[in-house]
Chain A
């Protein structure tokens, strides 16, 4: 019997893009059937161009910084871009996969990517904004698969 993994991806920052794609691609490698339901900011991860994903240190005291930096400093324009640049450099230096690579791995291994139709409408996204091969659906669509899954995670 094939095991099943159902994920909800609700965040659209560079750092939070990792957990759903890492877990989904790995589960697929372990022969799981995998569905990811992308909702709210998570929808960003299905756009054709995801090279502009960012990470923000603002309001995130858990983020390791080279020097201690109060929120007031992190508010300065350009700080977010700088933090993103530093994170991307670290990612490359440490041999961590890019989000594009992980998403491609998911698609190649048959992970089903579902865009939340309500959020698409809410944010005025167009179907052509997204990569090909995805599906559109609502909460009931998610539960059809989640209800018979072995693992369900909200990210």
Chain B
């Protein structure tokens, strides 16, 4: 999947992946896509909750053995 910015949050624990993601989204334009890589098992639920509450669109969530990769589209405004 295409993305405009990549963020490596692997090895970080709650709430750092979310805080880094928030920062990452601030650095891209509205409508652009941020890719976030995580290893925190709690991130699966947390990123869904984050997107639901902030209005950013969770485009995809790919889980492999130890990692989850998210693609998030920054909300329009």
Contacts and interface: CB of A to CB of B under 8 A. Distances in A.
Contacts of B1: none
A22 B17 CA distance: 12
Interface size class of B (residues with CB under 8 A): 10 to 19
B59 interface: no
B53 interface: yes
A97 interface: yes
Interface of B is mostly: helix
A102 to B, nearest CB: 8
Interface string B8-21: 00011111101101
Interface residues of A, number: 14
Nearest to A30: B53
A85 to B, nearest CB: 19
A154 B52 CA distance: 26
A97 B9 CA distance: 12
A31 B77 CA distance: 13
Interface string B34-75: 000000100000000010011000000000000000000000
A47 to B, nearest CB: 23
Contacts of B14: 22, 96
A26 B13 contact: no
A135 B16 CA distance: 26
Given A29-B50, A31-B54, A94 B13 contact: yes
Interface of B: 11-16, 18-19, 21-22, 40, 50, 53-54
* List of 4 A-B pairs having minimum Cβ-Cβ separation, nearest first: A29-B22, A26-B15, A95-B13, A95-B11
